[in-house]
Amino acid sequence: SELTQPPSVSVSPGQTATITCSGDALSKEYSYWYRQYPGQAPFMIIYKDTERPSGIPGRISGSLSGTTVTLTISDVQAEDEADYYCRSADSSGDSVLFGGGTKLTVL
Amino acid sequence: EVQLVESGGGLVKPGGSLRLSCATSGFTLGDAWMTWVRQAPGKGLAWVGRIKSNGDGGTIDYAAPVQGRFIISRDDSQKTLYLQMNSVKIEDTGVYFCSARGRDYYGDSGDYRVLDFWGPGTLVTVSS
């Protein structure tokens, strides 16, 4: 069981970025999204597929369709340039899965 | 304020051992699901293992690459999580993060927010 993300996504400021994460586990287990800046620890920006932690702006959202979850960042800004990882669990719930990560570049 | 701080990283020879610590504050360690995650240089996040909360049985699970070599433990009185790394390999090199996860329940229907905190990480280098 694994989670698949595109290695890179590029968008211009003000546009909308979408990052997908696909895997069979996603139809049964919740997904989570993390942002990581270089040299820093990751931090959660979406949990339970669609929920935002406090402090995360409304222009960041998550959605689920079948076995694919999507992270959408609207009105992309320079500060959104970072690595993004999806996370879930395998079907037994005993193992944690991470996607390979997507580097978001703001042109 | 929740804080997690890893320590114990450093240079270790292949086949050697190292013990990482994760000092915690601001929450009850035994009530959280604690996870170790590593990141090889220039690579993505990789799950190492996890210990569930005492309320969920304290079960410990490991990723296949470290099963049988690494041991996760927790000292609730010292508020510290540990990762004992034995028989280390070159591919164990990377930054090791500890993270804490809990639930903040609200309302009457069992809904909850997920609380998720990470330490800054500690670098482990396996080299001869």
Is B92 in a helix, a strand, or coil?
helix
- A53 reaches B (C-beta below 8 A): yes
Q: Do B120 and A40 touch (CB under 8 A)?
A: yes
Nearest chain A Cα distance for residue B46, angstroms:
6
Percent of chain A with pLDDT over 70: 100
Is A47 in a helix, a strand, or coil?
strand
Output the six-digit token pair for A44: 């959660």
Residue that is written with structure tokens 């020879």 in the block? B13
Render the burial of B82-108: b for 16+ CB within 10 Å, e for the rest. Answer: bbebeebeeebbbbbbbbbbbeeeeee
Percent of chain A with pLDDT over 90: 94
Question: Which residue of A lies nearest to B123 if distances are taken between CA atoms?
Answer: A39
Question: What is the CB neighbour count within 10 angstroms for residue B18?
Answer: 21
How far apart (Å, rounded) are the C-alpha atoms in residues A63 and B120? Answer: 29
- A75 reaches B (C-beta below 8 A): no
Q: Do A98 and B119 touch (CB under 8 A)?
A: no
Q: A1 pLDDT exceeds 90? A: no
Nearest to B13 by CA among B97, B123, B124: B124
- Express each pLDDT in A25-42 by its tens digit: 999 999 999 999 999 999
DSSP state at residue B41: T
- A34 reaches B (C-beta below 8 A): yes
Q: Is the dihedral of CA B27, B28, B34, B38 positive or negative?
A: positive
Nearest chain B Cα distance for residue A17, angstroms:
20
Q: Do B118 and A41 touch (CB under 8 A)?
A: yes
pLDDT tier for residue A94 given thresholds of 50, 70 and 90: confident
Question: Which residue of B lies nearest to A84 if distances are taken between CA atoms?
Answer: B44
